[in-house]
Structure formats: structure tokens, C-alpha cells
Structure 1
């Protein structure tokens, strides 16, 4: 990689470059899953991530919702967010995690994936959560490839819902202790 990654809270001026990460990483994730033909689902996911980003950027309460961006020079190469628990987590847990915030929107530009940027973003997010007194977070995934990564990083899921996205397409939810992911 050469240059050092910088992590910071997203600014309104970052919206366009953060959306570029979504525009490239989300279709790529669908393609890797063999779901590249689901154009409407990709469009829905892109729109949802844009809405979350805009809501966080406009929100004055930086404890309940925020985005971090990973920069390589001036270029945003990754994102991660924290906010209220999402609908899929609520559905998969029978609302049991409704009072636990969600770590989400972890996307890395395809050409920078596999270089540790996601781990740096998770650590930075955990540090921010710890500084805000947040002790636990949830996260979820329906992407099989991401699920394998999260099983290695976060361990056994809190909930697994088989066939959530269709035959043999499970959704997994994790409940994590912030203290286990903080660091420098």
C-alpha cells in the first residue's frame, strides 16, 4: 500500500467519495456472492447506505449515529458506521437487541480489500464506542463471504436465521463486547 491509512469522522464534504465506495463495493459484493443479476436489490442497498450516511452527517447527536472514513491520502477507501439497531437484526433476534447499537456499512474499495483496512476501521470504531461509554454492539451480514470473515473475527453468531434471503441463504447476527476490539 505504501501510504498510511488515516481514520476520521466523516464530514459532509465526504459524502460524494463515501458514496463512491458504496457504488463500487456493494455491486462487487453482490457479484462475489453470485447475485450480480439482482439489480433492484443492489439499487435498494445503495439507496439505504446513502440514507444512513446522510442521516448521520446531518445528525447533531454524534453518539447515536456516526460514520468513520478511511483515507489513503485524500481518497476515501473505506467506511464504517455506528447507529441504532437495524431492521434485519431486530427481525432475526425477535427485537432482543433493540437497545444495542449496530456497527455497519463496512465497505472497502475493491482494489484495497484484503489489506487490513477493515480491521483498522473496526478498531477505530470500537475505540470511538469505548470513548462514548458504549459497551456492546451488534452487526449482521447476509453475504456468505463476509460471514466467513466475521466468524473468524467475531466468533460464534448470536443468531443465525437459515433461508432468511432465500433457500440456503442465512443471515447472521453477532453481539460483541467493545472492549474486545479496542486498540491502537
Structure 2
């Protein structure tokens, strides 16, 4: 890989390009899962992510929720995103509200043409580093995508909760609860 990857906080200038990442990756993820025909769900997910970006870009004094995004750039072009903010509705439901006060790692999307280059891992590492800097001890994440669930199990271990048949028969939703320090330690061991 010759291109230089940088991870930066989201700025207003980056907003449209970050939304373009969602418009490309979300339909691709649905298609990969065999649910590409759920066009309303795809559009709802894209709209939700756009709204989250809007929230993240609000002045701190006016924010209802503490949400922030990091973006991955390859030669100054945004190729991936990750966010941190209050846990989402699926996490609250699946955990009987036990994780309501834990922030969520979310919106981890990398353009299909550059997946497999370590961009997702770099985004996670940058987010974990920022969480450490902020003194945040835990985060949660969730997934209803079966392919992503396999990746998360390799990266984060067994899920905290598995909501069986959450979306439909045979489609579970998984939630992970992670200690920031444990994940930072794991990353640092892998670097050696």
C-alpha cells in the first residue's frame, strides 16, 4: 500500500465526503448480507448516520449528546469513518438497559475498494487512544451483520449479549462490552 493513511477528527469540510462513505458502504453491507432489497432500511440507516454527523458537528455547548467522529483519509480522500457517542436503541433493548451509560463505538465503515488494508483497525486504534485520553474506561458496540459479527468476535471476543432472532428467524444481534485498557493492551501486544 503506497497511499498514506491518516486518521483525523471530523470537520465540517469533511461532512459530505463522510456521508458519501455511508452512501457507498451501507448498501454494500446490506447486499453482502443478502438483504440488499431492504431499500427503506438502507435509506433509514444512511439518514441516521447523516443525522449523527450533524450532531457531532454541533458546537459543544449546544450538543444534546457527546458524539464525535474520526475519519480515515488516504491521500486526503475520506475512505472510512468511526464514531463514539451514547449507546443506540438496539444496545439498550438487547441488554435490558444495563449499558445505557456506556458509550458506543459505531459508524465503522470503510469503502469496499480499500477494505482489508488495516484502515478499520487503524480507526479503532485511534478511537481507543482518544477514549484513553478522555479517561473513558469502557465502550460497547453492536452488530446485526453476520459478517461483521465474525470479525468482531475475532477482535473483541465473545459478545456480552446475543439477542437470538432479533431481526428475523436466524438473524441474531450481538453486543460487546469492552474495557478500553484491555483493547489498548491487545493492540500494543500485536505491534510487538
TM-score w.r.t. length of structure 2: 0.93
Q: Partner residue of 1:126? A: 128
Note the C-alpha offset of 1:181: 2.7
The answer on 1:11 being equivalent to 2:11 is yes
Give the Cα–Cα distance (whole angstroms) in 2 for the partners of residues 179 and 137 of structure 1.
10
Give the Cα–Cα distance (whole angstroms) in 2 for the partners of residues 157 and 175 of structure 1.
7
1:165 is matched with which residue: 158, 164, 167? 167
Aligned residue pair count: 184
Query: Could you tell me whether the CA contact under 8 Å between 1:59 and 1:65 is conserved in 2?
Result: no
Give the Cα–Cα distance (whole angstroms) in 2 for the partners of residues 137 and 104 of structure 1.
10
Give the Cα–Cα distance (whole angstroms) in 1 for the partners of residues 112 and 106 of structure 2.
17
Note the C-alpha offset of 1:59: 4.1
Note the C-alpha offset of 1:32: 0.3
Q: Partner residue of 2:70? A: 68
| Unpaired segments ≥5 residues, structure 1 | none
Which aligned pairs between 1:45-64 and structure 2 lie closer than 5 A?
45-60=45-60, 64=66
Which 4+ runs in 1 deviate beyond 4 A? Answer: none
Give the Cα–Cα distance (whole angstroms) in 1 for the partners of residues 145 and 98 of structure 2.
22
Q: Partner residue of 1:181? A: 183
Which aligned pairs between 1:15-94 and structure 2 lie closer than 5 A?
15-60=15-60, 64-94=66-96
Q: Partner residue of 1:138? A: 140
Give the Cα–Cα distance (whole angstroms) in 2 for the partners of residues 41 and 83 of structure 1.
22
The CA deviation string for residues 59-111 of structure 1, in whole angstroms up to 9 with x for no partner, is 41699210000000110000000000110000000000001000000000010
Give the Cα–Cα distance (whole angstroms) in 2 for the partners of residues 50 and 59 of structure 1.
17
Give the Cα–Cα distance (whole angstroms) in 1 for the partners of residues 85 and 56 of structure 2.
8
TM-score w.r.t. length of structure 1: 0.97
